A = this chain, B = another copy of it.
Amino acid sequence: MSDYPSILLEQAVNQMASLPGVGKRTALRLVLHLLRRSDAEVEAFSGAFTRLKSDVIYCRECHNISDTEICPICASTRRDHTTICVVENVQDVMSIENTGQYNGVYHVLGGIISPMEGIGPKDIEIDSLIERVSKGETKEIILALPTTMEGDTTNFYIYRRIQNTDRFADRIQTGELRISQIARGVAVGNQLEYTDEITLGRSIVNRTDFKA
């Protein structure tokens, strides 16, 4: 598809196709779909993105997207503020919240360390995590990053940063501060024969006591 009959159409298609996973053909279809809507509807569509970009706030505590200086989770007195779950991004917070299994607070790194993509420790919210833990209230840091090489690297970096800080190392020694990571193993409902070898191997090495 080329030779658009209108430059305005071409520009709109190019913008739509700039989104990840959206090809030129799909973009054209979506743009022509938008064009059939009313002026007010197109205004609402476009406005939602500019408004989000200009007015969005990142929570001062956990760096999650928020409408307020302190997000509802960090502001809640019913949450356990001594447990911090470290995640890569906003989606991860939403996913963990949806499980209904977690009552602590979060720390959104906004990325993970990736030398390949040129993302170093200074590019993500690690310093602010260390600062948060420095306040002394934290009893547990749960590392809930992707189980990939980048995730493991970031886990290790955070662990080392905390270990290398004397007052944290002492608290880890005395058990006042725990650093944990999400359980890895065979996903619930999966057949062993379809589980990859690395996961299966580790799930045997890292077996846990059977609880009846």
Contact = CB atoms under 8 A, between A and B. Distances in A.
Interface of A: 1-9, 11-12, 14-16, 18-22, 26, 28-35, 37, 39, 42-57, 64-67, 71-73, 89-91, 93-95, 97-98
Nearest to A37: B53
A26 to B, nearest CB: 8
A60 to B, nearest CB: 14
B31 A98 contact: no
Nearest to A90: B32
A42 to B, nearest CB: 4
26 contacts: A1-B91, A1-B98, A2-B98, A3-B94, A3-B97, A3-B98, A5-B65, A5-B72, A5-B73, A5-B93, A6-B66, A6-B67, A7-B67, A9-B65, A9-B90, A12-B48, A15-B45, A20-B30, A32-B90, A34-B49, A34-B52, A39-B53, A42-B50, A45-B49, A46-B49, A46-B50
